[in-house]
């Protein structure tokens, strides 16, 4: 695609920037538009993924057909099938009449499924059938309906990670990902940041009839070198905040910095954002893991006590059969002892006599789930040298949940 045609597309759809990565994404969109291939658009939240399906639709043979954009994450799980595929009268409570779904309404056109990874697994099965055969059933109906719809999907999560954890079907991923388009984050388009800021500032000033703000050279350097975790959406928000709050129209670096959140300590990605809704499930998993480990320790302790009663504390069988657990016992706790009756009858095994304390103390300590959870988090962070993403993966929780737990337990 030549530069003039590319510039016309940018002007038509309000795209600003000359980054090679952005131009490459636009080039792929224009090349795939005349075909009927499914497209999967990936990129972080706020990079502008919603513009690319419109470009593909307008440059396709379906441009005179219906274009429908569906935010899959905004539709409740109980009604998503009805929204997409329609329903028959009386198929569920509140279905007072038959209704066409988006796939029926968009027949001959294009449907854009934003945040497609938010779809329930059961709906993913229905979607896969539409993509493979062009057929679907309304909710509550046995009549097969045909549709000719081009599907474009988008997501801001790591789909491979979702597949590994059973939240997204692998066969659907490969069916949607016929042609992938990756939209670069703003930090990879540094040459475009100044242009975008100026555009947002001028547009806001015109709408509100005020002079537009400008940046000093130092402020521009700060702007360009900031990480922009919220991407274009965050940049626009900052431009508008400064425009309305600051009385000075020339913005210095110090003023600009006061509006930029400090993400140096916690650069949380827009990871799997159904994880936020499943936080309870992930916390439950870590508690199950703690309880399972505690159960194993109790079983080992029962075995050790039995061997002491049977053979006596000094017997070789006790040390040989339970050496690993005895070592763990003295490593993980400050003090242990046996039951009072056993203490009276036998001399307690004590590699370090000063470590023998009251049994009730260790039982109270080991049954504290909060302390166990904090201990696991500290161990995971130490194991991965403070890398939170790796530690979160090790614990089986999201990085956002891990960050919240670190704040909650005040872990340094």
**CATH topology for 3-182?**
Rossmann fold (3.40.50)
DSSP-derived 3-state class of residue 69: strand
Residue 267 Cα distances to 131, 270, 400, angstroms: 37, 10, 10
pLDDT confidence of residue 332:
55
pLDDT confidence of residue 382:
86
pLDDT confidence of residue 363:
44
Residue 60 Cα distances to 96, 182, 221, 283, 292, angstroms: 37, 20, 41, 46, 56
- Look-up of token digits 């510039």: 7
Verdict on whether the full-model pTM lies above 0.85: no
Supply the CATH classification number for the domain 187-257. 1.10.8.60
pLDDT confidence of residue 379:
86
pLDDT confidence of residue 22:
96
Domains of the chain, by residue range, sit at 3-182, 187-257, 276-409
- Apex CA 162: angle with CA 410 and CA 84, to 5°? 120
Picking from 115, 103, 104, the residue whose alpha carbon sits closest to that of residue 75 is 115
Spans of the chain, pLDDT less than 50: 263-278, 333-365
pLDDT confidence of residue 131:
95
The answer to whether the beta carbons of residues 224 and 187 sit under 8 Å apart is: no
pLDDT confidence of residue 351:
46
Q: In a 10 Å sphere around its CB, with 0-12 CB exposed, 13-18 middle and 19+ buried, how is residue 193 labelled?
A: buried
pLDDT confidence of residue 388:
84
DSSP 8-state assignment for residue 97: S
């Amino acid at each position: 695609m030549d530069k003039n045609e590319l510039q016309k597309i940018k002007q038509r759809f309000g795209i600003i920037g000359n980054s090679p990565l952005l131009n490459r994404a636009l080039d792929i969109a224009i090349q795939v538009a005349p075909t009927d291939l499914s497209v999967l658009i990936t990129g972080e939240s706020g990079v502008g993924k919603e513009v690319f399906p419109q470009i593909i639709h307008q440059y396709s043979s379906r441009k005179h057909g219906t274009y429908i954009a569906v935010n899959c994450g905004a539709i409740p799980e109980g009604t998503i099938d009805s929204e997409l595929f329609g329903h028959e009268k009386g198929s569920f409570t509140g279905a007072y009449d038959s209704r066409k779904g988006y796939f029926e309404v968009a027949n001959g056109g294009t449907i854009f499924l934003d945040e497609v990874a938010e779809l329930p697994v059961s709906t993913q099965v229905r979607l896969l059938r539409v993509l493979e055969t062009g057929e679907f059933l309304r909710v509550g109906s046995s009549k097969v309906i045909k549709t000719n719809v081009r599907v474009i999907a988008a997501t801001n999560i790591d789909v491979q990670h979702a597949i590994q954890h059973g939240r997204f079907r692998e066969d659907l991923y490969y069916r949607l990902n016929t042609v992938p388009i990756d939209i670069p984050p703003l930090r990879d388009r540094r040459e475009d940041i100044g242009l975008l800021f100026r555009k947002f500032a001028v547009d806001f000033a015109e709408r509100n009839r005020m002079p537009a703000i400008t940046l000093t050279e130092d402020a521009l350097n700060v702007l360009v070198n900031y990480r922009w975790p919220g991407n274009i959406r965050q940049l626009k928000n900052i431009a508008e905040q400064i425009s309305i709050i600051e009385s000075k129209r020339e913005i210095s670096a110090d003023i600009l910095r006061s509006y930029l959140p400090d993400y140096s300590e916690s650069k949380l990605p827009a990871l799997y954002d159904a994880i936020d809704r499943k936080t309870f499930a992930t916390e439950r998993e870590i508690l199950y893991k703690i309880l399972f480990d505690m159960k194993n320790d109790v079983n080992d302790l029962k075995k050790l006590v039995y061997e002491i009663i049977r053979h006596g504390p000094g017997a070789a069988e006790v040390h040989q059969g339970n050496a690993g657990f005895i070592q763990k016992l003295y490593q993980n706790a400050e003090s242990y002892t046996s039951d009072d009756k056993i203490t009276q009858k036998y001399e307690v095994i004590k590699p370090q006599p000063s470590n023998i304390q009251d049994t009730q103390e260790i039982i109270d300590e080991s049954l504290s789930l909060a302390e166990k959870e904090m201990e696991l988090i500290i161990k995971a962070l130490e194991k991965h040298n403070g890398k939170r993403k790796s530690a979160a993966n090790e614990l089986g929780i999201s990085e956002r949940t891990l960050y919240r737990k670190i704040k909650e337990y005040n872990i340094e």
